[in-house]
Amino acid sequence: MVRAKERARVICRTVAIFSGTRSPPRDTREIEAAIDGLPAGSIVIHGDAPGVDRLVDKLARERGRFVVIPMPANWTEYGKAAGPIRNRQMLVVAGALARCGYVARVRAFPTKKSKGTRDLVKQARALDLEDVIEVELPA
């Protein structure tokens, strides 16, 4: 029999993929709110690119209540295809955790020029991920 505390802990398991512009955003409030909205113990995955990804890494680690997993693209091996391949890898990890009872989320913070972030959102929606939020940042 599962006790109420154990049941609550299982329900709150969350994996969140963050992606965004490579330019450091001037206003970080939307990103901070997305991180602060995650339950303690959540897994935060990002692509380890400059800009939003590195900011997410810093903010999540500062809060000290998340598992942070950077997943950099392998540009040497895959060339220009590395970004979409890495995006797919992040979604595969989140999907595997979702099949184990985690809530899978995607939080995207693109600008008009963010091709990689838009690719991640497109792939996430093609996989029918339910919790995909895209917040366009000013250029």
| Full pLDDT tens readout for the chain, 139 residues | 444 454 444 456 999 999 999 988 889 999 999 999 999 999 999 999 999 999 999 999 999 999 999 999 999 999 999 999 999 999 999 999 999 999 999 999 998 889 999 999 999 999 888 788 888 887 6
Residue 44 lies in a domain: yes
Domain count across the chain: 1
Residue 61 lies in a domain: yes
pLDDT number for residue 12: 64
pLDDT number for residue 7: 46
Tell me, what amino acid is at 78? Y
Residue 106 lies in a domain: yes
pLDDT number for residue 1: 44
pLDDT number for residue 2: 43
pLDDT number for residue 137: 84
Give 130's Cβ-side CA count (13 Å radius).
4
Structure-block tokens of residue 116: 């990689």
What's 129's domain CATH number?
A: 3.40.50
Residue 47 lies in a domain: yes
Note the pTM of the prediction, 2 decimals. Answer: 0.89
Instruction: Give the domain range for residue 120.
Output: 4-134
Residue 139 lies in a domain: no
